[in-house]
Amino acid sequence: MDATLRDRLRALRVFGGELPRFDTDATPAAPLPLLVDWLNEALDAGVSQPHAMSLATTGADGIPDNRTLLLKDVDAEAVWFASLSSGPKGREIAANPHAALLLYWREQGRQVRIVGRVEEGPREVSEADFLARSPNARASAIAGEQSEPVVDRDARVEAAREKIAAEPEYVPAEWVAYRVIPDSVEFWQAERERDQVRLRYLRDAATGGWSRDILWP
């Protein structure tokens, strides 16, 4: 008899091979430098799409939504992504400027959870981000209304391509580089002997400093 899907899922091994060690005693006082270290380690280790992350938002109705985006940068204060402010996620962020980000690097058994406040970055950062996209990606972003049903696809894409070719510096006002300023960041590491290690940083609202806790799995 064929194995059921349930049996097949249960038989899967979640983490095989070598996993990095996570020495929580050697971590910095603030989370973003550690995120930068983990990103560099993921890049060095050849993790597939280490910059693919999920962004969860809620709209004014309180209903959650989630989607994959590309992480664009991490600086001293924030984690950056870029999107259209006119689409569903942009409207949700405008209604409730709080979001959760999730990065998962399966090859390393690592997960990073970030919760924070979302702000629009400076206009020049949005413009530079859009102009760094390929002409096709720029045309695709302006051809129609993000997440609306497609109508007149060929004509709209052709018109968008012509616009980008005629105006190579064009940046739609709706293209926004957003930054998430974290209030909570949790680093999760699968470990063979100890199962898993969780380190959570919480921002102290009064001082702006960070507290650190090891969490039960």
Position 83 contacts ligand FMN (CB under 6 A): yes
CB nearer to ligand FMN: pick between 30 and 101: 101
CB nearer to ligand FMN: pick between 174 and 191: 174
Helices (H), 76-134: 88-95, 123-131
**x-or-dash pattern for ligand FMN, window 94-123, by CB under 6 A?**
------------------------------
Position 211 contacts ligand FMN (CB under 6 A): no
Q: In this structure, are residues 197 and 214 in contact, taking their beta carbons and an 8 Å threshold?
A: yes
Position 51 contacts ligand FMN (CB under 6 A): no
CA–CA–CA angle 152, 145, 65 (5° rounding): 130
Q: Give the shortest CB-153-to-ligand FMN separation in angstroms.
A: 16
Of 7, 147, 192, 204, the one binding ligand FMN (CB under 6 A) is: 147
Q: Give the shortest CB-196-to-ligand FMN separation in angstroms.
A: 26
CB nearer to ligand FMN: pick between 137 and 215: 137
Give residue 11's identity as a one-letter amino acid code.
A
As to burial, measured by CB atoms within 10 angstroms (0-12 exposed, 13-18 middle, 19+ buried), residue 168 is exposed
Query: What are the start-end ranges of the E strands in the chain?
Result: 52-58, 64-70, 73-74, 79-84, 98-105, 110-120, 175-191, 195-203, 210-215
As to burial, measured by CB atoms within 10 angstroms (0-12 exposed, 13-18 middle, 19+ buried), residue 104 is middle
CB nearer to ligand FMN: pick between 87 and 144: 87
Of 19, 36, 56, 67, the one binding ligand FMN (CB under 6 A) is: 67
Judged by CB under 6 A, the stretch of 37-45, 78-86, 107-115, 172-180 that binds ligand FMN is: 78-86
Give residue 163's identity as a one-letter amino acid code.
K
Position 69 contacts ligand FMN (CB under 6 A): yes
CB nearer to ligand FMN: pick between 52 and 102: 52
Tell me the three state secondary structure of residue 79: strand
Q: Measure the CA–CA gap between 170 and 141, rounded to whole angstroms.
A: 12
Q: Measure the CA–CA gap between 39 and 108, rounded to whole angstroms.
A: 11
Of 31, 89, 108, 110, the one binding ligand FMN (CB under 6 A) is: 89
Position 52 contacts ligand FMN (CB under 6 A): yes
Instruction: Give me the residues that bind ligand FMN (CB under 6 A), please.
Output: 52, 65, 67-70, 81-83, 87-89, 146-147
